[in-house]
Chains A and B, each alone.
Chain A
Amino acid sequence: MNHQGPFLFLVVLLFIAGIGTASFRHQTYRIPLLPGEQQTVWQVEARIEFLALGRSTQIFLTLPPEQNGFQPMEETGAAPGFGFSVEQRGTQRRAHWTKRQASGVQTLFYKLELVQDASRDIESIPPEPLVFPRWDEPYRTAQSQVIEALLPITADAHSMAVQLIGLMQRQPVDQNVSLLRDRYEDPELLARLLQSAGIAARRVQVLELEDGRRRQSLTEHIQVWRGDRWSLYHPVSGPVTNTENLLLWQTETPAVLEVVGGTNSRVSFSMISQSRSMLELAEGNRDPGFALSLYSLPIAEQGMFKLIMLLPVGALVVVIMRILVGIRTSGTFMPVLIALAFLQTDLLPGLASFLLVVGIGLLIRSYLSSLNLLLVARIATLVILVIGIISVFSVVSYQLGLIGGLTITFFPMIILAWTIERMSIIWEEEGPKEVVVQGGGSLLVATLAFLLMDQPLVRHLAFNFPELHLSILALVMIVGRYTGYRLLELGRFASFENR
């Protein structure tokens, strides 16, 4: 075929563009591939209380850094009378409230919404060059004895941390550990010992997420750098393997809460978890990619587009059925319009009412043909009659308690009128058999298109990933170049067998 190369290139490009954009948007904006996918959302609230001293007041609250497993969605820190801003310093973010003059007990809230997302994986930031901690005597001797005792029986950072935690918890308590404990808290001691052994370790504040808990405080853990990532250790129980519900709140030295111009400050945390559809979350995502998407339309228009975006799917079915299978339909894309109507009426009521209206229409049309009307007038007559049939049908079915009968109004009147007209011409010209063949073909294709368009997955993908239509376009174009036999031609030319 001429121009086959560029054509194939274009088709492949379109196909990849469709799939690629869809997967990119799935990855980046977390638009779910399946309808009704749920995700856990944590709403964490930090409550800060302090006694203001009646002068200018500044409050700093360390905020959780970007981390694996959680996708921050929305944060608010507004408090009446306070200025609020979020500052970024290095990798650490801080909330900053300010007030010129505050006195008495003050309460501030910081709310954070996080989507739990196990697949989120961000690159770990390697530690700064290690600074060996200074020890005063007699602790210096004690720590070097501890480390020297452990060095021969450990291999790497991880085993050293595990052994060290084990040693500190051992009963009876090791003399050196006991001595060191007089001077240092457990977490600090652990970090210092690990650093002295040449291991990058740091103290971190962790919030344990548990649905419905209130007034929680942060717990202190140790993080050890293992060459490519940080591992979390509990100072008593050792390595933490399940970090799913642990939110890393603070990783660097400054305190979690700093209050200037106030005393008796404290921070506590409450949290609840919610299950929310991923789609809802994606819609709430205010990324720039969304400004140009269908979500930015008013709800009513969105509803319309949910239908419009199904049309290419129906068109693909028609293309396949006509070019690959060879089914004859009356009107090329009429089956798609019928299928769209089926979406509103449901299949069986739709089929029944369609056949009924077209049947009655054909009867009336056979009388009209004896009236010698001009074509336009005859179609107009049919349109009016179709409306009449539909009205009568709706009223009667309502009176009989058949609510399904009312859905017949979803059929496009003009399409019905034209269908009747075409069918009646086919009847006159080519006989009832052809009416059955073409009408049946149309209904078959319409039914198949409906069955596909009615799939929740198809509806979901068609609306939420409109770029997939590029891939459908590529499919339609490639089928459009198919020059092989149609399926039904294998029957039509069957007489060529064996000769």
Chain B
Amino acid sequence: MSWIDPRALRRRGVLGMNRRNVAYIGRYNDRAHYPLVDNKLKTKLMARKLGLQVPDLLHVIHTQHEIEGVERLLEDLNSFVVKPAQGSGGKGILVIRGRTPEGYRKSSGDLVSTNDIKRHLTNTISGLHSLGGRTDVAIIESLVETTDTFSAVSVEGVPDIRLIVFKGFPVMGMLRLATHESDGKANLHQGAVGVGLDIGSGRAIAAVQHNRLITAHPDTGVDLTGISVPNWPDLLSLAARCFEATQLGYLGCDIVIDRHRGPLLLELNARPGLSIQIANDEGLLPRLARIEALDSPFMTVQDRVREAMQWFGRSEAAGQETLFEDAEPALPA
């Protein structure tokens, strides 16, 4: 393990965990608004009310009694996702991509039985996957269908885009690709690949796995350097609107792109992680400071997105400077 001089980190403007907690989450995120983002059901209902696009809510399971009859609810569903409303860090998310006579097929290809799903639901509503072990409800929602752009790079699970939205400005973005190692989950510390995205264009800047730069997807070997996220301005707008919806100044928005419906808001996070800086090879602090220095608090969503794209976009003139040249080639697993 190599180490870096803290002064070098500061020079690069890297935001550390302590500073994030005290100076950003502590200062800009009012705890009263946390339940809205910590509870996916509430997020979903709020988003629907405000006209933010979200994956369809199919069922909500509140009680053990409802679990007993869950077969009937799942009968005519070919693919679906089970989530705890108050889960954190991707815990307790079960993705069913299809069904065979033997059972349901998970995104990894493994088969699970109806009983397995029932047990998962039981665990979920008894709070196993939830923050603080509170009793919870299980959400069953429709599975997002990946666009062609992403189906090539993602083996399991749908790639999602994490955007840090600071006071309504999208400041940094990252595409998260599930790997076999991360078991279909998009959490970087579980082995998912993070691809830093240029706020100005939605194009890839750098890709990392386990904090190391890579150029190709470790499972498929597909080149990651040419990725460009479609519907980029729409996606930024969707994220920026979450600020008004949640009143949280420092927010992580997870967005997926559906083949048919375009960008959908998957979930919100009041304590977004810091790995996004590694994937972008850039610190958050200068960008956050730029917005903190701003004294015109009232701007429309479109203004904010336009300004952010201008400020934080990497200029074309600089020769599309990406970091893929000095990355080690990844070996397909």
Contacts and interface: CB of A to CB of B under 8 A. Distances in A.
Interface in B1-27: 1-6, 8-10, 12, 14, 16-19, 22-23
Nearest to B213: A495
B1 A491 contact: yes
A390 to B, nearest CB: 24
Contacts of B23: 1, 483
B326 to A, nearest CB: 8
Nearest to A492: B211
Interface stretch (B121-129, B165-173, B242-250, B293-301): B121-129
B123 A494 contact: no
B16 A430 contact: no
B22 A481 contact: yes
Contact of B12 (A370, A484, A496): A496
Contacts of B281: 495-496, 499
A372 B4 contact: no
A410 interface: no
Interface in A437-493: 481-486, 489-493
B190 A485 contact: no
Contacts of A323: 18
Contacts of A489: 9, 16-17
A300 interface: no
Which residue among B8, B23, B118, B129 has the maximum number of chain A CB atoms within 10 Å of its CB? B8
Contact of A425 (B14, B22, B128, B213): B128
A2 to B, nearest CB: 8
Given A323-B18, A483-B22, A375 B126 contact: yes
Contact of B123 (A326, A375, A492): A375
Contacts of A482: 18
A497 interface: yes
> Could you say which interface size class chain A belongs to?
20 to 34
A497 B5 CA distance: 8
Contacts of B18: 323, 482-486
Contacts of A375: 123, 126-128, 133
A299 interface: no
Contacts of B213: 495
Interface in B244-280: 277-278
Contact of B278 (A376, A490, A495): A495
A494 B323 contact: no
Contact of A499 (B6, B115, B323): B323
Contacts of B323: 499
B180 interface: no
B212 interface: yes
Contacts of B133: 375
Nearest to B135: A375
Contact of A372 (B14, B91, B119): B119
Interface residues of B, number: 40
A122 interface: no
B9 A485 contact: yes
B17 A430 contact: no
A493 B16 CA distance: 9
A1 B26 CA distance: 12
Nearest to B17: A486
A491 B16 contact: no
Contact of B2 (A1, A372, A486, A494): A494
B208 interface: yes
A495 B3 contact: no
A493 B278 contact: yes
B277 A494 contact: no
Contacts of B1: 491, 494
B14 A376 contact: no
Nearest to B12: A496
Nearest to A479: B18
Nearest to B190: A430
A429 B90 CA distance: 9
Interface in B203-231: 208, 211-213
Nearest to B22: A483
B82 to A, nearest CB: 14
Contacts of A486: 16-18
Nearest to A377: B126
A374 interface: yes
Contacts of A83: none
Contact of A490 (B4, B22, B208): B4
Interface string A417-441: 0000000010001110000000000
A188 to B, nearest CB: 79
Which residue among A375, A483, A493 has the maximum number of chain B CB atoms within 10 Å of its CB? A493
B22 A497 contact: no
Contacts of A497: 2, 4, 8
Nearest to A496: B12
Contacts of B278: 492-493, 495-496
A376 B133 CA distance: 10
A5 B122 CA distance: 51
A321 to B, nearest CB: 13
Interface string A356-393: 00000000000000101011100000000000000000
A489 B18 CA distance: 10
Interface in A1-15: 1
B3 A431 contact: no
B9 A496 contact: yes
Nearest to A379: B133
B285 to A, nearest CB: 11
B211 A374 contact: no
A305 B5 CA distance: 43
A431 B187 CA distance: 13
Contacts of A374: 64, 122, 126
Given A431-B190, A491-B1, A495-B278, A376 B16 contact: no
Contact of A326 (B17, B64, B283): B17
A494 B14 CA distance: 11
B12 A490 contact: no
A494 B190 contact: no
26 contacts: A1-B23, A374-B122, A374-B126, A375-B123, A425-B91, A425-B129, A429-B92, A481-B22, A482-B18, A483-B18, A485-B10, A485-B16, A486-B18, A490-B5, A490-B9, A491-B3, A492-B211, A492-B278, A493-B9, A493-B211, A493-B277, A493-B278, A494-B211, A496-B281, A497-B4, A497-B8
Q: Which 3 A-B pairs have the closest CB atoms?
A: A375-B126, A483-B19, A485-B16
Given A374-B64, A495-B212, A496-B278, 17 more contacts: A372-B118, A372-B119, A375-B128, A375-B133, A429-B92, A430-B190, A431-B190, A481-B22, A484-B16, A485-B9, A490-B6, A491-B1, A492-B278, A494-B3, A496-B4, A496-B8, A496-B9
Interface of A: 1, 323, 326, 370, 372, 374-376, 425, 429-431, 481-486, 489-497, 499
